Amino acid sequence: MTPQVLAHTHAAAFTQSRPWTVAEFADLLNNRFTHVIGKAESFALFTVIADEAELLTIATHPDYQRKGLGLCRMQDWQAKAKSLGATRAFLDVAEDNHPAIALYERCGYVPCGRRKGYYPREKTGKIDAIVMVRDPI
Ligand SMILES: CC(C)(COP(=O)(O)OP(=O)(O)OC[C@H]1O[C@@H](n2cnc3c(N)ncnc32)[C@H](O)[C@@H]1OP(=O)(O)O)[C@@H](O)C(=O)NCCC(=O)NCCS
């Protein structure tokens, strides 16, 4: 998975927020704590530091959504994080991102915090991020 492929899928999937650039993905992939799993159709990017895993982003290209790929990527990255020593997993999600929240709830994540005004939105102004945890992963 190259930074170009990641940026392409990310830009196609994220219609509500600023897409991450090729340079941003390249930087993330250069970080020894960052891992990527999946293919161009659907991928997950995450970090594992000591016993804590964090999902940085997950995206399924719109042409492939609602076919079970996102669920598979969640299972894949969690299994990889566990094999690397993680015992719990965190993520954050915009409070208006109902598809992602449904996916995370289905994967056993529960809310554990809120970041006020974390995500910019053109039409509605800033909205909160919900922080979610799965413990044990
Ligand atoms: C969230 C996302 C990754 C889901 O990927 P996907 O491959 O379509 O997900 P799946 O087909 O595996 O769906 C698994 C479950 O998630 C939930 N879900 C997924 N998309 C949904 C939607 N549009 N509306 C409601 N629930 C949804 C459902 O419970 C679904 O199971 P079901 O199809 O049996 O009802 C995808 O919608 C996406 O890339 N969105 C844009 C990027 C994004 O918001 N990423 C998360 C940022 S925090």
Average pLDDT (27-56) is 98
Average pLDDT (3-14) is 98
* Least confident interval from 12-21, 49-58, 105-114: 12-21
**Burial state string for 33-61 with b = 16 or more CB within 10 A and e = fewer than 16:** ebbbbbeeebbbbbbbeeebbbbbbbbbb
Ligand 1: nearest atom to the Cα of 71: 12
Give phi and psi for 42, each to the nearest 5: -165, 125
Q: How far is the CA of 136 from the centre of ligand 1 (A)?
A: 22
Percent of the residues in the chain that have a pLDDT greater than 70, as a whole number: 100
Decide: 38 in ligand 1 pocket, CB within 6 A.
no
* Least confident interval from 11-20, 78-87, 107-116: 11-20
Closest of 98, 95, 99, 100 to residue 127, by C-alpha? 95
Q: How far is the CA of 76 from the centre of ligand 1 (A)?
A: 15
Decide: 117 in ligand 1 pocket, CB within 6 A.
no
- Asked if pLDDT for residue 123 goes beyond 90, the answer is no
Distance CA 122, CA 93 (A): 17
Model confidence at 97, pLDDT cuts 50, 70, 90, reads: very high
Decide: 70 in ligand 1 pocket, CB within 6 A.
yes
Decide: 16 in ligand 1 pocket, CB within 6 A.
no
What does 116-130 look like in DSSP terms, one character per residue?
Answer: EEEE--TTT--EEEE
| Ordered domains of the chain (ranges, CATH) | 3-134 (3.40.630.30)
Distance CA 62, CA 47 (A): 25
CA nearest ligand 1 atom 4, residue: 70
Closest of 72, 81, 91, 73 to residue 34, by C-alpha? 81
Model confidence at 17, pLDDT cuts 50, 70, 90, reads: confident
pLDDT at 67: 98
Ligand 1: nearest atom to the Cα of 55: 48
pTM score, whole prediction: 0.97
C-alpha 67: how far from chain center? 18
Decide: 132 in ligand 1 pocket, CB within 6 A.
no
